Amino acid sequence: MLARRAASFTKRSIKADSKRSGLRLAVSMLDLTTLEGADSPELVRALCRRAIAPCPVPPLNPPIPSVAAVCIYPRLVPIVREALAGSSVRVASVATGFPSGQAPLAMRLQDTQAAIEAGADEIDMVISRGAFLAGRCDEVADEVRAVQDVCGDAHLKIILETGELETPDNIRRCADLVIEAASRDRDLGDGQVFVKTSTGKMSPAATMPSVLLLLESVRDHFNATGVRIGVKPAGGIRKAKAALHLLVMVRETVGQDWLTPSLFRIGASSLLDDLVRQLLWTSRGHYAAMHDVAVT
């Protein structure tokens, strides 16, 4: 039933205006990501320029919106901070020993601290999946709260790595666990905390069922507390169609309120190319070549 419900969102036919506005919405929700060892300052600066103005010349009217954030490793935060200065695009840094999260907690907190000090607006943390799978739930809750303390006002996205949790039960329980940990005795604002499916470093990543489970967890938390937790699927989302399916799922699971970058993000890199191509197609009637759009 989970798979069936998740698949049902992919059956919605998104055409015409709803497609145009959906594509733009998806762009505005992007955490444009690069997490490669080979990332050079030059490449990252190019990425930041695309993040601010995703559409190459000539621009569409109205212009394609900026993405929500650029997501990089901590060491690149200063460069990105500078490249995005004056724009609405936020600086998101992975941290806490990303992607494995295997380092001792002290080092992971240090990693986070460095990213914050360098100017990250948002931290994407990984949890200790091993601890969760071994049943040491308190350990996971404690590390979430410790990272939260370091983050201060910076928004926190908690990566579950759903592919490693494997079962729907695990994913749902883990989402409930981290949301509860992050909310316990804290006065969270809407979107201050996100749950995120994956690091993008393993497969499967953001499958439709795994995202649905996070949305259901967030929905139930909202029904119980009135606080809106954000959701971020990441990993393996490459096509505009997949992004639209995600928006459909958000709309029909948690409702229109979540259809904003402050509550829903999509972590991806090449997805932006396809979103822009599709937007160009919807306005110009012919498909753009990859070299028209992929200008990083």
Partner 1 sequence: MSRLEVVKTGKLWIGGKWPRSESGATFPVTNPEGEVVARCASASRKDSRDAVEAARSGLGKWRDSTAMLRGQVMYRAAEMLEGRAAELTEALQFGGAGAAAARQEVDASIDRMVMLAGWCDKIHQVLGCQNSVAGPYHCFTIPQPCGVVVAFSPAEPALLSLVTLVGAAMSIGNSVVAVAPPQAGLAAVLLGEVLAVSDVPAGAVNILTGNQKDLVEPLGGHREVAVVVSGGLSKASRVAVRMAAADGIRRVHAVPWTGSAWEDDEETCSPWFLEQFVEFKTLWHPAAS
Partner 2 sequence: MTQTEGAVAAAGWDYSPAPERTRPDIESEYGLFIDGEFRKSRSGKVFDTINPATGERLARIAQADEADVDAAMAAARSAGPKWARMKGRERGKYLFRLARRIQECSRELAVLETMDGGKPIKESRDVDLPLVAQHFFYHAGWADKLQWAFAGRPVRPRGVCGQIIPWNFPLLMAAWKLAPALACGNTVVLKPAETTPLTALHLARLMQEIDLPPGVVNIVTGFGETGRLVATHSAVRKVAFTGSTGVGRTLMQETAGREIPLTLELGGKSPNIVFADAAIDQAIEGVVGGIWFNQGHVCCAGSRLFVEESILETFVSALRDRMKQLRVGDPLDKNTDIGAINSEGQLERIRSLVRTGQEEGAILHDVQAEPLPKKGCWFPPCFFTGVQPSHTVAREEIFGPVLSVMSFRTPEEAIRRANATPYGLAAGIWTDKGSKIFEIASRMDAGIVWCNSYNQFDAAAPFGGVKESGFGREGGLHGLRAYVR
Binding residues for partner 1 (CB under 8 A): 1-3, 167-169
Do 85 and 78 contact (CB within 8 A), yes or no?
Answer: no
CA dihedral 296, 267, 203, 169 (to 10 degrees): 180
* Helix ranges restricted to H, the chain: 2-9, 16-28, 41-52, 77-83, 105-117, 129-133, 137-151, 162-165, 168-183, 208-225, 240-253, 271-284, 290-293
Is residue 124 part of the annotated active site? The answer reads yes
Residue 167 touches which member of partner 1, partner 2, none, C-beta under 5-8 Å by kind: partner 1
Residue among 40 and 225 whose Cβ is closer to partner 2: 225
> Which amino acid is located at 203 in the chain?
S
* Catalytic residue, candidates 111, 157, 196, 273: 196
Residues at the contact surface with partner 2, assessed by CB under 8 A: 1-2, 4-5, 11-19, 21-22, 24-25, 28, 65-66, 68-69, 88-90, 168-169, 191, 216, 223, 247-248, 251-252, 256-257, 259-262
Is residue 232 part of the annotated active site? The answer reads yes
Residue 7 touches which member of partner 2, partner 1, none, C-beta under 5-8 Å by kind: none
Residue 10 touches which member of partner 1, partner 2, none, C-beta under 5-8 Å by kind: none
Closest CA to 223 of 231, 212, 215: 215
Residue among 61 and 256 whose Cβ is closer to partner 2: 256
Buried/exposed code over 223-232 (b: 16+ C-beta within 10 A; e: otherwise): eeeebbbbbb
Residue among 110 and 170 whose Cβ is closer to partner 2: 170
Is residue 39 part of the annotated active site? The answer reads no
Beta carbons within 8 Å of 287's beta carbon, 6+ residues apart:
277, 280, 281
* Catalytic residue, candidates 19, 31, 111, 124: 124
Residue 13 touches which member of partner 1, partner 2, none, C-beta under 5-8 Å by kind: partner 2
For tokens 């036919």, what's the residue?
Answer: 13
Name the minimum Å distance from CB 46 to partner 2.
20
What residues are annotated to the active site?
Answer: 124, 196, 232
